[in-house]
Amino acid sequence: MNAPSEAGDENRHRGYISIQAGDPQTLDFLAYMGWHLKSSRERFDYRGDIVINDDFVVGKYSHGSGVVEYCAPEDLHKADRVMVHVCLSGAGILHTSTGSVALAPLDVVRVPTGELKGFESEDGATSMFVIYGSPDVSRQQETLVGQSNEIDLGILNAAATSLLCNVPEQPSPGFTQVQRALEELAKAVAVGVDLGSDSDVDALTKVYVRGMALIGSMATDEKTTVESVAHDLGVSRSYLLRAFKTHGSSPSIELRQARLANAERLLREGAADLTAVAAQSGFSTVRKLKRALTTDTTIL
């Protein structure tokens, strides 16, 4: 097993890890990542590849029959992270703090990582996942699940597989853009699914939760508007506004905040071209970007 350095929390979860079937360190690594096997080791037969850095994780893995419980290590437990998990083959049940989700091939789950509780499978499964930061995740605690679009999923699967097979020893600055591209592909797969709540909540809350997920995924496209969000959700503009109002917000505010958060991240990463930052964050003009930054942050 090729594992990352353990020299302090900063490096503990960085790098590329490949786990082969039968590797004696498998359970140690899984526990080190927060997953604790509660069933037969021989039948579990875990194997996989994963790339980890401070705010991004992508992985693909297979396993046999097994039950695992999840408890995030302190330095991995980030409240602002979301996981998009896809079942590629086999079947299983994902457990979260809000309930349990039965997964079949092509099923997609979008879940805040802080809500994860465990997973079980009778006959094994092959899955992939992408974990990324989301500043609004604290307001989207529900797990959403649905079946993916095969074309969108195929693109994400091919991109993730290519990355996992060609990880550079020393990632270049351009690797950040590869990471962001994978995040956007994962969001696109989730958005392309008619994600439904796994809990029995009222219709307005379901629209709000799905609206927040859609905004989080599509805010960087300047063509995304309150009207387009309502259209994609299959509700009227007034109903969408009502759903957000019941949660003390509005879709326009959330859309602006999502764009601002993305712009701030790009600037923190060293982007200097405001025209490019505006375009990549969903602001139609540099003037609108500057106004948002001046109002909400001291970056400029």
Mean pLDDT by 10 residues, the chain (300 residues): 43 67 83 90 90 83 94 66 90 90 89 89 94 68 74 84 77 70 79 54 76 81 90 88 90 91 84 88 90 66
Check residue 19 and give its pLDDT.
Answer: 85
In the block, residue with structure tokens 């326009």: 252
**Topology of the domain covering 9-168:** Jelly Rolls (2.60.120)
What are the start-end ranges of the H helices in the chain? Answer: 9-12, 26-32, 41-44, 150-165, 175-191, 203-218, 226-233, 237-245, 251-268, 274-281, 286-296
Residue boundaries of the structural domains of the chain: 9-168, 203-296
Check residue 190 and give its pLDDT.
Answer: 74
What region does 128 belong to: left with phi over 0, alpha with psi -120 to 50, or beta?
A: beta
The hierarchical CATH code for the domain 203-296 is: 1.10.10.60
Check residue 270 and give its pLDDT.
Answer: 82
Check residue 241 and give its pLDDT.
Answer: 94
Check: pTM over 0.85? Answer yes or no. Answer: no
Check residue 35 and give its pLDDT.
Answer: 92
Check residue 293 and give its pLDDT.
Answer: 84
DSSP 3-state of 264 = helix
Check residue 7 and give its pLDDT.
Answer: 36
| Cα–Cα distance for residue pair 29/140, rounded to 1 Å | 30
**Do residues 117 and 63 make contact, with C-beta atoms less than 8 angstroms apart?**
no
Check residue 164 and give its pLDDT.
Answer: 85
| Cα–Cα distance for residue pair 146/104, rounded to 1 Å | 10
Say how many C-beta atoms besides its own lie within 10 A of residue 129's C-beta: 19
DSSP 3-state of 32 = helix
Check residue 25 and give its pLDDT.
Answer: 85
